[in-house]
Structure 1
Amino acid sequence: MSSLCCWVTVQLLLSTLLGLCSSLEFTGVPDQWARYLRWDASTRSDLSFQFKTDLSTALLLYFDDGGYCDFLQLMVVDGKLQLRFSIDCAEATIVSSKRVNDSNWHFATLSRYNLRTVLGLDSETKVAEVRPQRQYMKIVSDLFLGGVPQDIRPSALTLPLVKDQPPFRGLITDLKYGTQGPRLLSSQKVGLDMEGLCSVNPCENGGSCSLVDGEPLCDCSKTEYIGRFCDQVLGEFPSGSLTVESGTDDMQKVPCRLPAGMHRAGAAACMMTEVNSFPGFSHMMMAEQGMLSFRFHVLSLVLPAL
């Protein structure tokens, strides 16, 4: 087999492994990057991923329209997430309130809604809107993660100085366009990390971390919290009853933190009373991370005193 054929085979194998693996390891060396198939953020779309880093300044993500006006750049600047974007040369910037250079896992989302762009960081969201003549973002390039190839001509970049930004150091996992993982086209100086996803526990408030299909999953069942990272406080009802309007048939979700000894779902315990059923309507009760979900024709939900 020729050396060229071997090189192509190795590159294809590495791309396949990186595409299947949830976690990419960036060491922060010059000219490192991962190149993904273009994200269609022209009008309405979502992108999400998890990451951790100890750098105060680093390039996370970049794409543009090939050197004209439109671009989107996500960086860590002064320890916070900074999103810069431009539509038809109308530019805006969003900066997170929370610092991210703490070597802990963080969950980031980018949401495009025509002229409005939303940056999400863990439980925080910030919005920016521009008012250009054109009503959509043009995207020509693929999406670059962790850095930009140094051999791209400056004239082909809407932000030529993006090549001079410090490369990302840390882990990036679970990159998704909407609900689908994008195709990795190529990469350089990017490694794999499967074991490190739970080495620094992303679960807060005593939640336990485990790897499921290569992704970190938080178990909050032994805590008094819910959410992706066990970071959302359960609602607390001291005593009395929670009344749901008569005739309500929709699924109701009631978070509660009550003593054990009754119907128990993780950290939740509730007692349903005065359920008025009627023919053809099925009763259903579910336990989900400390939340009781019930589908009933409910008159009231009585909770015992703490």
Structure 2
Amino acid sequence: MLEFGGAPGQWARYGRWEAGSVGELSFSVKTNVSKALVLYLDDGGNCDFLELLIANGRLQLRFAIHCAEPATLHMETRINDDRWHMVLLTRNFRETLLMVDGETKVAEVKSKRKEMAVVSDLFVGGIPPDVRLSALTSSTVKYEPPFLGLISNLKVGEIPPTLLNSNGIQSDLEYLCTKQNPCFNGGFCSIQFGEVQCDCTHTRFKGKYCKEDYRGGWEEIVPPGSGPRTRAENQSREPEPNTNAMIE
């Protein structure tokens, strides 16, 4: 799941969706905004593009092939009610189907070529600032308000697309760091290669969650966010020597 704060400069960039001929893209969405950019792809500024927007609280799809007049779909289902809605996009050459919950509509572009050229990555929730206007087939998309809300279960076919990079987006894993930090003893929580990592460099502890003391191997139980204890505090917590064992 991705949480979009809706701030300017927000975007998520996924690997290319090969939607030139046939293909499916699906996701669930929860929002309360009436106008925003949901997703966009194109051929690098020539003729072909596909954009999914929220307009008047409903999804609106526009796409074009081979510089033909763009086809447009306006859905009736209102999605800005802070409830989850299922969205399915199906590409089939000149046709594109959009389904929102139980509502389905299909639009067809009257183009000479039947395949859509796709060169760009898949942009979700906003357009990165390094993408020039001249590289956008539908240049107005850059001025659409960024998406505000939640998107989950984003899939191309049955496979989640690769998230290349993002800005201003919080994922499930990042939520673990900010709200349910698993790192003990002042370890620094970060997301690397899709996994939570605890950096114990500036602590006196080691292990996956910075819980193992270097000296004795016993575990500290300093809750996340409490910071490392002082040496004196830790020494006062160490077990007393077993004098009976020493006498024997």
**TM-score scaled by structure 1?**
0.55
Runs of 4+ aligned residues of structure 1 deviating over 3 Å after TM superposition are none
Alignment of 1:193-208 (within 5 A): 193=172
Which residue in the other structure is 1:261 paired with? none
Q: Which has the higher contact order (CA 8 A, sep 6+)?
A: 2
**CA drift at 1:172:** 0.3
Which residue in the other structure is 2:83 paired with? 104
Which residue in the other structure is 2:6 paired with? 28
Residues in 2 aligned to 1:94 and 1:161: alpha-carbon distance in whole angstroms: 17
Alignment of 1:209-224 (within 5 A): none
**CA drift at 1:43:** 0.5
**CA drift at 1:151:** 2.5
Which residue in the other structure is 1:122 paired with? 101
Equivalent residue pairs, number: 174
Match of 1:65 among 32, 43, 50: 43
**CA drift at 1:193:** 4.1
User: Do residues 113 (structure 1) and 105 (structure 2) align?
Assistant: no
**CA drift at 1:89:** 1.6
Q: For 1:146-190, what per-residue CA distance to the aligned partner results, in whole angstroms no more than 9, with x for missing partners?
A: 000122111111011211100000000000001111111111110
One-letter amino acid of the counterpart of residue 124, structure 1 = E
Residues in 2 aligned to 1:191 and 1:53: alpha-carbon distance in whole angstroms: 15
| SS of match in other structure, 2:53 | strand
| SS of match in other structure, 1:150 | coil
**CA drift at 1:192:** 2.1
Match of 1:42 among 1, 16, 20: 20
One-letter amino acid of the counterpart of residue 79, structure 2 = V
Residues in 1 aligned to 2:114 and 2:61: alpha-carbon distance in whole angstroms: 19
Q: For 1:241-296, what per-residue CA distance to the aligned partner results, in whole angstroms no more than 9, with x for missing partners?
A: xxxxxxxxxxxxxxxxxxxxxxxxxxxxxxxxxxxxxxxxxxxxxxxxxxxxxxxx
Which residue in the other structure is 2:130 paired with? 151
* Identical-pair percentage: 53
Gaps of 5+ in 2: 176-248
Which residue in the other structure is 1:15 paired with? none
| SS of match in other structure, 1:162 | helix
| SS of match in other structure, 1:163 | helix
Which residue in the other structure is 1:88 paired with? 66
Which residue in the other structure is 1:188 paired with? 167
Which residue in the other structure is 1:174 paired with? 153
Alignment of 1:211-290 (within 5 A): none
| SS of match in other structure, 2:30 | strand
One-letter amino acid of the counterpart of residue 69, structure 1 = C
One-letter amino acid of the counterpart of residue 76, structure 1 = I
Gaps of 5+ in 1: 1-22, 197-306
Q: For 1:198-239, what per-residue CA distance to the aligned partner results, in whole angstroms no more than 9, with x for missing partners?
A: xxxxxxxxxxxxxxxxxxxxxxxxxxxxxxxxxxxxxxxxxx
Larger radius of gyration: 2
Residues in 2 aligned to 1:85 and 1:93: alpha-carbon distance in whole angstroms: 7
Residues in 2 aligned to 1:161 and 1:117: alpha-carbon distance in whole angstroms: 21
Residues in 1 aligned to 2:130 and 2:139: alpha-carbon distance in whole angstroms: 12
Residues in 1 aligned to 2:65 and 2:153: alpha-carbon distance in whole angstroms: 27
